[in-house]
Amino acid sequence: PRMSTKRIVVLGAGPAGVAVAIGLRRAGEEVLLVGEPRRFAAVEGVSARVLGALHKAGFARAVRCFAPPSQRCVTWDGTHSRANWESLVDRQAFDRAALEDARSVGVSVVTGRIVSCASAVNGHHVEVDHDGRRTTFAADFIVEARGRAAPGQGSARVRGAETVSLLQYWVGPPATAGSAVESCADGWVWMAALADGRRYLQLTLDVATAALPPKRELGAFCRARFDTLETARPFLEGAEPVGEPHARTSTPVLQEEVAGHDWLRVGDAAMAVDPLSGNGIFQALSSALQAPAVIGTLLHDPDRAALARRFHQERIENLFFHFARIGRDFHAQESRWPDEPFWRTRRAWPDAQPIHPGTAPDDLQVTRRPVVSDGRIVEDDVVVTPDQPLGIWHVDGVRLAPLVRALHACGSQTSAEAVLRAELGGDATRAARVAAWMREQGWL
Ligand code: FAD
């Protein structure tokens, strides 16, 4: 790996911050990761695909904190299903293990509360409080990964309906691990049980219309709500709430600017959507995995700085709208309360665009776009479609833009397979594979 003398400081050690820090180390950069452990207990669930992605990103210890996959019972629009599986994790344990994963690859870790981050022309100064003792660190480059707690939430470019999730922690006898989700007239509930008897019940409501009680009555309010739910019964049996509920904001937010010449926002600090699709950790990871190439380009290849910023900005926006639309379609599947404010606003936001617009052969366009090559952002020809607005560069190790150009040049006189075979140096097997993939995408 290339070595660098620039000092990069990552603010916040959740999944996004840790993923960027590990990625930067793997690229030979010097990284300091500063964070304080999250202050509240929470259980979250991810799919098998996310576990695989975490493993690949270097979260070997953190991945071991997940419980074996358990069933997720879904009660939505009045029907029950048990088709889904998810792996549950105690987020505090996950975050602690992730910090160890970062340390193990040579990331310098500082634990403490970031109290300020001052930026000047020649760099940044990060002030950290460790139990009353203050230290200042100089940085050439800052990665903002403090999640929803990152400064700047007020200047978001896009904000969905204000949403709050009330988390109540219960303890009961050991039980079969599992989770359940159920829609109600004014929101939805997610419940999780770990095998050791810990249970997390989470009520998500519309801030403007929920009529929440004063803070000291929140516990009783949550309890009364869960008591009315048939599906909550297995989670409440023999169990009692512990402590006060914790309120987490879950409003979708997209920041105005997510990349500067010496800073980058990743994870929830860049964009966060509704927890309904249960994809937050995956999104945090997605936005963080390409960040090392963006940062490497900004630090070492200033001629391509604008390109690198554009790349990150477009990826984040695309990710935000993709997951916002997935959330919209989940909300739209609940049809029993179309006039309730919670459902009315969320089933129509952010727009009416389908998640995967169909692609016809005439839609294909070849344009120059930023792509990741050998750990840097460069520009090359890609194929843009309504479904892939950022463009596709390679498939199966084959650059697609020259193939689409050749197909366009030949018109319909020659068969697509023959054109592709000629372009691929006569490799008929490969041409057939690429043609099959293109047909599947609606390109042929
Ligand atoms: P975070 O995980 O928030 O990490 C930020 C880190 O920065 C934290 O460790 C924090 O302590 C630290 N930090 C913040 N401020 C400071 C400071 N001043 N000084 C030092 N450190 C600081 N996702 C899923 O995949 N599955 C789920 O089931 C799921 N359920 C959710 C339920 C709710 C109610 C909500 C709101 C979200 C849920 N998510 C879920 C989303 C998921 O929690 C986030 O998307 C994900 O954690 C984002 O990762 P991150 O690294 O960007 O931010």
- Measured from the Cα of 39, ligand 1's closest atom is 11
Expressed in angstroms and rounded, the spacing between residue 424 Cα and the centre of ligand 1 is 46
Whether residue 275 is preceded by a cis peptide bond, meaning omega within 30 degrees of 0, is: no
Per-residue pLDDT, 109? 97
Question: Could you tell me the distance, in angstroms and rounded to a whole number, from the CA of residue 232 to the centre of ligand 1?
Answer: 25
Which residue, judged by its Cα, is nearest atom 28 of ligand 1? 44
Closest residue by CA, ligand 1 atom 33? 275
Residue 44 Cβ < 6 Å to ligand 1: yes
Cβ of 276 below 6 Å from ligand 1: no
The reply to whether ligand 1 has any atom less than 6 angstroms from the CB of 145 is yes
Using a 6 Å cutoff on CB, does residue 15 contact ligand 1?
Answer: yes
Q: What is the dihedral of CA 403, 406, 411, 412, to 10 degrees?
A: -50
Residue nearest to atom 21 of ligand 1 (CA): 35
pLDDT score, position 358: 92
Establish how many alpha carbons lie within 13 A of residue 13's alpha carbon, considering only the half-sphere containing its beta carbon.
Answer: 32
What pLDDT does 431 receive?
Answer: 95
Regarding the beta carbon of 241 and ligand 1, being less than 6 Å apart is answered no
Strands (DSSP E) contained in 268-384 are 271-272, 365-373, 376-384
How far is residue 118's CA from residue 44's CA, in Å, rounded to a whole number? Answer: 33
Residue-level pLDDT at 122: 87
- Sheet containing strand 263-265, edge to edge, reads 108-111, 30-35, 7-11, 141-144, 263-265
State if residue 368 touches ligand 1 by the CB under 6 angstroms criterion.
no
The torsion defined by the Cα of 146, 151, 154 and 159, in degrees rounded to 10, comes to -20
Question: What is the per-residue pLDDT for 4?
Answer: 59
Alpha carbon of 282 to ligand 1 centroid (Å): 11
The pLDDT assigned to 278 comes to 81
Distance 146 CA to ligand 1 centre (A): 8
Q: Does 35 sit in the ligand 1 pocket, CB within 6 Å?
A: yes
C-alpha distances in Å from residue 339, one per residue of 186, 332, 335: 10, 12, 10
To test the ligand 1 pocket, which listed residue (74, 127, 281, 287) has its Cβ within 8 A of the most ligand atoms? Answer: 281
- Contacts of residue 180, defined as CB under 8 A and 6 or more positions apart, other chains included, come to 72, 73, 74, 75, 190, 191, 231, 232, 235
Pocket-testing residue among 22, 32, 128, 268, ligand 1, by greatest number of atoms within 8 A of Cβ: 268
Residue nearest to ligand 1 atom 14, measured at CA: 146
Dist. CA 101–CA 321, nearest whole Å: 31
Q: Calculate how far, in angstroms, residue 122's C-alpha sits from the geometric centre of ligand 1.
A: 30
Residues of the chain with pLDDT under 50: 1
